[in-house]
Amino acid sequence: MGKRKRLSVTSGLRIVKDYDRLSHLTANLVAAIIRDTPTAVVGLPTGRTPLGFYKRLGALRRRGLDTSRLTAVCLDEYLGVSPDDPISLFGWLRRVALEPLGIPAARTLRLPSDAADPQAACGRFNRLLDRHGGFDLVVLGLGWNGHVAFNEPGSPRSASTRIVALQPGTMERNLAYWRGRRSLPGYGMTVGLRSILRARRILLLVSGARKAQILAATMCGPITSAIPASQLRLGRLTVIADQAAAKLLARNS
Ligand code: PGA
């Protein structure tokens, strides 16, 4: 396969011009789901990719979209970190999305990564998620190595909420999100692919040329735990990619 060859892909794929359009389209799709199911259980991602989507969804809320009855789930967290720790991903999501969207604290499910016995807490969290009926919608970003949430390479599709070792490359990149920080915990807690794959809808957001190779592998290569995101093709997946990220894909649908 030549490096520049475009790979064909048939599953749910929406290619849009740029990041702005990606954010708009995602917000519109999510708003339609919320109008249809105002009490939806929604998994929300951290990272840079969803920032425009959160902003746009906030704008739709100001124009009347009711987000107050959703249940929101933060999909990943550093191990041993409380929500008020400056590096807490839940704390970040609260500032960037949950508060602007008016989702009350009582309607958020937080990964209990600071529990005294985190292993047992993972089991309790799985049962809690199941009691909520699982996800109506999971929105995800695509990690540099194909991870989704903190499901790093090697994560099987049967994996449930658990503690994972973070890859050095993930920690290096994530460090750039926290100005002034010199290190991050080497472990995280993540919602597993099992719960994500059962979602009624999965949206995978991918932006920028630096994601082109991993998106091509995700969509066109084998379905393998070596690239956890490739396993999303077994679920009700729609990929929303901008042209820069999709430059190695050719749609044949
Ligand atoms: P990004 O991160 O949106 O900042 O690229 C994605 C991820 O690592 O999950």
DSSP conformation letters of 41-82 = EEEE--SSTTHHHHHHHHHHHHTT---TT-EEEE-EEETT--
Q: Indicate the helix (H) or strand (E) that contains 93.
A: helix 89-93
Question: Which residue's CA is minimally distant from atom 9 of ligand 1?
Answer: 143
Residue 181 predicted with pLDDT over 90? no
Model confidence over 47-98: pLDDT tens digits?
Answer: 999 999 999 999 999 999 999 999 999 999 999 999 999 999 999 999 999 9
In percent, the amount of the chain with pLDDT more than 90 equals 89
The C-alpha angle with vertex 16 and arms to 15 and 21, in degrees rounded to 5, equals 145
Question: Which residue's CA is minimally distant from atom 7 of ligand 1?
Answer: 143
Q: With contact defined as beta carbons under 8 Å apart, do 232 and 9 qualify? A: no
Confidence of residue 2 (pLDDT cuts 50, 70, 90): very low
How far apart (Å, rounded) are the C-alpha atoms in residues 145 and 182? 22
Residue 38 predicted with pLDDT over 80? yes
Q: Which ligand 1 atom lies nearest to the CA of residue 207?
A: 5
The C-alpha angle with vertex 104 and arms to 101 and 109, in degrees rounded to 5, equals 100
Ligand 1 centroid to Cα of residue 70, in Å, is: 24
Residue 1 predicted with pLDDT over 90? no
Ligand 1 centroid to Cα of residue 106, in Å, is: 27
**Active-site annotation holds for 152:** yes
Q: Which ligand 1 atom lies nearest to the CA of residue 205?
A: 3
The pLDDT of residue 177 is 86
Model confidence over 150-168: pLDDT tens digits?
Answer: 999 999 999 999 999 999 9
**Active-site annotation holds for 77:** no
Please report, as a single letter, which amino acid is at residue 231: Q
**Active-site annotation holds for 76:** yes
Residues in contact with ligand 1 by the CB-under-6-Å rule are 47-49, 141, 143
Catalytic residue among 114, 147, 151, 242: 147
Catalytic residue among 24, 85, 126, 145: 145
Q: What's the chain's average pLDDT?
A: 94
Residue partners of 119: CB distance under 8 A and separation at least 6: 163
pTM of the model: 0.94
**Active-site annotation holds for 172:** no
Residue 253 predicted with pLDDT over 50? no
Q: Which ligand 1 atom lies nearest to the CA of residue 147?
A: 9
What average pLDDT score do residues 11-15 get?
87
Model confidence over 117-144: pLDDT tens digits?
Answer: 999 999 999 999 999 999 999 999 999 9
